[in-house]
Chain A
């Protein structure tokens, strides 16, 4: 048998309009801890989904060799049968079931057609002991801390006879102690011969634990660094993660004149009752008229939550303290409706999920946030509405046969333009753009960047939330970096470098 438990060769995976993986080669040695790093959207998760069979054989090209055999996984069960188990960032446990039920959930111990609960409890207890959980196996998962829940997931993996364990940002939501316990457990499993792939953004952990580090960028393998021979510095990893030519992807802006402060938060602190913890801590930012302010941070840093909590707080967070000022006036919004009325607009990061009404047409989606302005008496003035929709379709170049086209049938870039049109029609003073160019092609990106420049030239203020480093650096006049709900730095466009920002973004 070869030294490698897994070899993925020349993997190419395409989505409509996007090449998510472009000829990726990825090899994991038997019994090593292999860390996979890269920016958001670099293709890490996609690669793991190809491996585990979430994207079945045939939907990608390339070859997967596991244990010396070529594999053609059609579904997750196929890869699990071979001992490949993936644990996602969002845990797949059932909160209302007990620990032992969860450990064997989906592959129950069955005798004569019925579940053998006694055997289940015995086996599950062994697994739970192995991962260091001392709690009663019959307690419910929901009563366990997040750190321990992560361990239950690993116990579940062990019960499936795992040979290759894949962890997707396992410590993202864990505190220091729990993280350490988890990393120790992974090292312990390594001794027992379990190979492990770990996706992580936390470079400190990576340099501490990894045997090999593979860097992905833009869907391609950049390098594999052997950490057993020499110590790998964090700076070296960052360089590989971001090292790309910026070129003139970003249109230049002629004049840069900033006016008064348009929006400001002071010590904005927010508690999420669902997660049961504070998600934003004393966030203080401001944006002036005619300025593009970037908020950079990795996924889960709290940027979207921040935007939503300003924008009428539709998700029901608790704003425990802090102030919000719009043009110097202290405000706090109970509903997006009020925020819109005052001149705030929020382009969501998830245009299909909560941005657009896909089954409706361009006209409907363009005017929905400011229908009042079209109402005469009781009815909507449809002729005026058609004019409005046509005007925006022309001015921001939405490519569609007519404004009667259903938004669900448009390309990502054009959908994004409709979303922006919707908010421009509401005539905002401050426009919050959340991942404005996610999943859209280069041409449409450029158009959106140009539009942003035009809008700030007219005196609008833009807050751009993005996890794409080059974009934030290329577009912002000033930027804040957020990590774990805290602003960890503020940089002017001149001072900001990718390395500086990345270092702040992973600071905890």
Chain B
């Protein structure tokens, strides 16, 4: 009897795990259901290696923008301008490369710096002048839409000839020729990731045990490791059976790792959560709220510029319609990924899941040939249901 009260059974532990993490689990379940639904509707086409690679390439620009947006939403601001900042950035990159013959890598660097300056402008308006972010970035929407149209007025759509640039969202990492019928490097990277994940999970767990914090029981921990490893390996295998890991995935992965590290391990990350949780308390604890807010605006605009580069690369051209409704996907991704509408809570790793939900919907409905009007309605409904669920589950 005594041991029973001290050590709850496995069933009970799973019960409490589900209860405390219901928000995250629902997101995974939703993603699986959505993917399953499209796989069924497209006769398996949705889950084919080619389409998975396609999905990643399509989702890349939204993913990086959503990561930037997550920070902004955690500190309870918003950036509506990211769409047209992205569109304009793509156009500038195209003009630099075609009209002025600038090297593609230099062009990318220039565009990212331009994104930083745009963020500086909007961030200063919000922090030092005191214009609300909603107004500042709505004005930004007007301005950058205008600049986008203006920059492509003479030429119309610019076709980009630079191979390196276009590879960003169409190309794959190289392979070592070994005569295999799958992409070897991809599988090696997959194995490395799996080992890294297992090692880091075990390290974290050991550490927690050392400080006698609560940890899940061994069977659940092992199950989690196996599940995680299998998912990684299955995705990698799928990619390896086509052309390997897309460059987009590498870029998004690097961005994700940097932001995840920043948010979880550094003082800056702590400050961002602190400001979102209680800006006044953060200020009185010695955090410079204005500076951190300015940083978040700079970061989101740089990510918008990067998103613009990826999108332009994907289309291999800059068009005047680029950027329309990008901010909708970015914001929806963050919220579906579990950023709290009241701020202070959110993880970039979950934002990526949110992006996958949104972009799976786009990709799947495109495959099914569903009209774009219905696509918007479906995405809107799923978005609002996710947030409603989030708000309710946080109230408890």
Interface residues of A (CB under 8 A from B): 311, 314, 335-337, 339-341, 346, 348, 353-360, 364, 368-369, 371-372, 375, 378-380, 382-383, 386, 390, 402, 404, 422, 426
Residue of A nearest to B268 (CB): A378
Known: A336-B285, A379-B266. A353 touches B211 (CB 8 A): no
Residue of A nearest to B273 (CB): A360
A-B CB proximity, top 8 nearest: A354-B280, A357-B277, A379-B265, A337-B286, A340-B286, A369-B285, A371-B267, A368-B285
Cβ of B66 under 8 Å from chain A? no
Residue of B nearest to A402 (CB): B213
Q: Which residues of A contact B283 (CB under 8 A)?
A: 314, 336, 354
- Is the CB–CB distance between A357 and B274 below 8 Å? yes
- Is the CB–CB distance between B265 and A380 below 8 Å? yes
| Contact bitstring B117-135, A, C-beta under 8 A = 1, else 0 | 0000000000000000000
- Is the CB–CB distance between A359 and B213 below 8 Å? no
- Is the CB–CB distance between B270 and A368 below 8 Å? yes
Cβ of B71 under 8 Å from chain A? no
- Is the CB–CB distance between B278 and A354 below 8 Å? yes
- Is the CB–CB distance between A378 and B281 below 8 Å? no
Q: Which residues of A contact B178 (CB under 8 A)?
A: none
- Is the CB–CB distance between B344 and A357 below 8 Å? yes
- Is the CB–CB distance between B284 and A346 below 8 Å? yes
A353 in complex: contacting residue of B267, B280, B285, B344, CB < 8 Å: B280
Known: A359-B345, A360-B277, A404-B213. A375 touches B267 (CB 8 A): yes
CA distance A340 to B281 in the complex (A): 14
Cβ of B239 under 8 Å from chain A? no
B278 in complex: contacting residue of A340, A356, A379, A380, CB < 8 Å: A356
Cβ of B2 under 8 Å from chain A? no
- The tally of residues in B whose CB lies under 8 Å from a CB in A reads 25
Cβ of B288 under 8 Å from chain A? yes
A402 in complex: contacting residue of B214, B277, B278, B345, CB < 8 Å: B214
Contacts between chains A and B (CB distance < 8 A), count: 85
Known: A359-B344, A386-B211, A402-B214. A371 touches B280 (CB 8 A): no
- Is the CB–CB distance between A356 and B213 below 8 Å? no
- Is the CB–CB distance between B284 and A383 below 8 Å? no
B284 in complex: contacting residue of A336, A372, A375, A379, CB < 8 Å: A336
- Is the CB–CB distance between A314 and B284 below 8 Å? yes
Residue of B nearest to A340 (CB): B286
- Of the listed residues B207, B281, B345, the one surrounded by the most CB atoms of chain A closer than 10 A to its CB is B281
Cβ of B300 under 8 Å from chain A? no
Cβ of B62 under 8 Å from chain A? no
Q: Which residues of B contact A340 (CB under 8 A)?
A: 285-286
A383 in complex: contacting residue of B207, B270, B282, B285, CB < 8 Å: B207
Q: Which residues of B contact A360 (CB under 8 A)?
A: 273-274, 277, 344
Q: Which residues of B contact A368 (CB under 8 A)?
A: 270, 274, 282, 285, 287
Q: Which residues of A contact B282 (CB under 8 A)?
A: 357, 368
Interface residues of B (CB under 8 A from A): 207, 211-214, 261, 265-267, 270, 273-274, 277-278, 280-288, 344-345
Min C-beta distance of B278 to chain A, whole Å: 5
Residue of A nearest to B265 (CB): A379
- Is the CB–CB distance between B267 and A357 below 8 Å? no
Min C-beta distance of B170 to chain A, whole Å: 34
11 A–B contact pairs at CB < 8 A?
A353-B280, A354-B278, A354-B281, A357-B273, A359-B344, A359-B345, A360-B277, A369-B285, A402-B212, A402-B213, A404-B213
CA distance A339 to B284 in the complex (A): 10
Q: Which residues of A contact B285 (CB under 8 A)?
A: 336, 340, 368-369, 422
Min C-beta distance of B211 to chain A, whole Å: 5
Q: Which residues of B contact A372 (CB under 8 A)?
A: 267
CA distance A356 to B285 in the complex (A): 9
CA distance A380 to B284 in the complex (A): 20
- Is the CB–CB distance between A364 and B270 below 8 Å? yes
Q: Which residues of A contact B213 (CB under 8 A)?
A: 402, 404
- Is the CB–CB distance between A354 and B274 below 8 Å? no
Q: Which residues of B contact A357 (CB under 8 A)?
A: 273-274, 277-278, 281-282, 344
Q: Which residues of A contact B284 (CB under 8 A)?
A: 311, 314, 336, 346, 348, 354-355
CA distance A233 to B118 in the complex (A): 68
Min C-beta distance of B264 to chain A, whole Å: 9
Min C-beta distance of A367 to chain B, whole Å: 8
- Is the CB–CB distance between B278 and A358 below 8 Å? yes
Q: Which residues of B contact A369 (CB under 8 A)?
A: 285-286
Min C-beta distance of A23 to chain B, whole Å: 35
Known: A379-B266, A404-B213. A335 touches B281 (CB 8 A): no
CA distance A339 to B283 in the complex (A): 12
CA distance A339 to B287 in the complex (A): 12
CA distance A404 to B208 in the complex (A): 11
CA distance A355 to B274 in the complex (A): 11
Q: Which residues of B contact A402 (CB under 8 A)?
A: 212-214
CA distance A382 to B207 in the complex (A): 10
Residue of B nearest to A338 (CB): B286
Q: Which residues of A contact B267 (CB under 8 A)?
A: 371-372, 375, 380
- Is the CB–CB distance between B274 and A335 below 8 Å? no
Q: Which residues of B contact A375 (CB under 8 A)?
A: 266-267
Min C-beta distance of A402 to chain B, whole Å: 6
Residue of B nearest to A381 (CB): B265
CA distance A368 to B211 in the complex (A): 20
CA distance A348 to B280 in the complex (A): 11
Q: Which residues of B contact A341 (CB under 8 A)?
A: 286
Q: Which residues of A contact B280 (CB under 8 A)?
A: 314, 353-354
Min C-beta distance of A363 to chain B, whole Å: 10
- Is the CB–CB distance between B288 and A337 below 8 Å? yes
Q: Which residues of B contact A422 (CB under 8 A)?
A: 285
- Of the listed residues B207, B212, B270, the one surrounded by the most CB atoms of chain A closer than 10 A to its CB is B270
Q: Which residues of A contact B211 (CB under 8 A)?
A: 386, 390
Residue of A nearest to B212 (CB): A402
- Is the CB–CB distance between B344 and A355 below 8 Å? no
Q: Which residues of A contact B273 (CB under 8 A)?
A: 357, 360, 364
